[in-house]
Amino acid sequence: MSTIMHHQMLCGFIEKVVNALLSMNLSSSASLVALEQKTLVVSLAELNFPLSLTVSDKQLLVTCITERSDCQIDTSLATLKTLKEEQQLTELIKQDKLNIVGDVKVAQQFADVFQQLDIDWQSEIASYIGDVPTYKLGRFHQWLLAKVTFAKQQVSADASEWLLHEKRVLVSNGELQQLYGQIQQAQQAIQQIEQRISQLDDAINASHQESLS
């Protein structure tokens, strides 16, 4: 399948997922209403084509149309996450991690829509698999979450312990280099002594032979 078809498939997939999430949203859709007919074009470093997001009747349309937009952003996925912090924008632009053309408020309003998503997952899942399995799934999720949290805390504590105590007794790179230097010096001294002994040995042998003759 050609690249064009892959792009269209990805746009279609994103559109389906986002609209499914928006339809489950319990919180107010005021931020979506404010974006009616607004378009944000996002060019991500990770994608080789732009994504155009347009809001229409509280739904999101995802296309590749770039001919018109209220705001255009060139950035990467990692930087996109930091967009909500307004005070960081100038710094990101200075660092060439972000390029914004148009009304930055539109971009922030789009970010708000996703941050304000409030989905009752248990209720959504229950409509597919029933209340009891959902309850058990919820309990399993909580148990798993507790285990993961504990494991994370354990790893974090072990790391702190290691940094505080173990790291001190480890040889640093500088110390290692100094040791290598000292060993080299000792080797050179030994070689000099060996040469000296050899010279002395030769001298003793020569005087011994002279006295015999």
Please identify which residue in 23, 27, 28, 59 interacts with other proteins, judged by CB under 8 A: 59
Task: Tell which positions 169-198 bind other proteins, by CB under 8 A.
Answer: none
Tell me the C-alpha distance between 54 and 38, whole Å: 6
Q: How far lies 189's CA from each of 42, 95, 194, 196, 197, in Å?
A: 68, 54, 9, 10, 12
Least distance CB 152 / other proteins (angstroms): 42
Cβ-contact 73, 47 below 8 angstroms: no
Region from 23-31, 55-63, 101-109, 197-205 binding other proteins, contact rule CB under 8 A: 55-63
Q: Which is nearer to other proteins, 9 or 163 (CB)?
A: 9
Q: Residue 170: phi, psi to the nearest 5?
A: -75, 150
Tell me, by CB under 8 A, how many residues bind other proteins.
20
* 87 scored as a contact of other proteins (CB under 8 A): no
Judged on CB neighbours under 10 Å (0-12, 13-18, 19+), 182 is exposed
Region from 9-17, 92-100, 119-127, 136-144 binding other proteins, contact rule CB under 8 A: 9-17
Element (H, E) at 43: strand 39-44
Q: Which two tokens stand for residue 198?
A: 């050899």
Cβ-contact 72, 53 below 8 angstroms: no
Site string for other proteins, 65-84 (x = CB under 8 A): x-xx----------------
Task: Tell which positions 30-49 bind other proteins, by CB under 8 A.
Answer: 36-37
Beta strands 51-56 and 99-102, pairing class: unpaired
Region from 62-70, 122-130, 140-148, 172-180 binding other proteins, contact rule CB under 8 A: 62-70
* 23 scored as a contact of other proteins (CB under 8 A): no
Region from 20-28, 61-69, 76-84, 112-120 binding other proteins, contact rule CB under 8 A: 61-69
Element (H, E) at 145: helix 131-161
Least distance CB 74 / other proteins (angstroms): 19
Q: Which two tokens stand for residue 128?
A: 């597919």
What is the contact surface with other proteins in residues (CB under 8 A)? 1-2, 4-5, 8-9, 11-12, 36-37, 54, 56-57, 59, 61, 63-65, 67-68
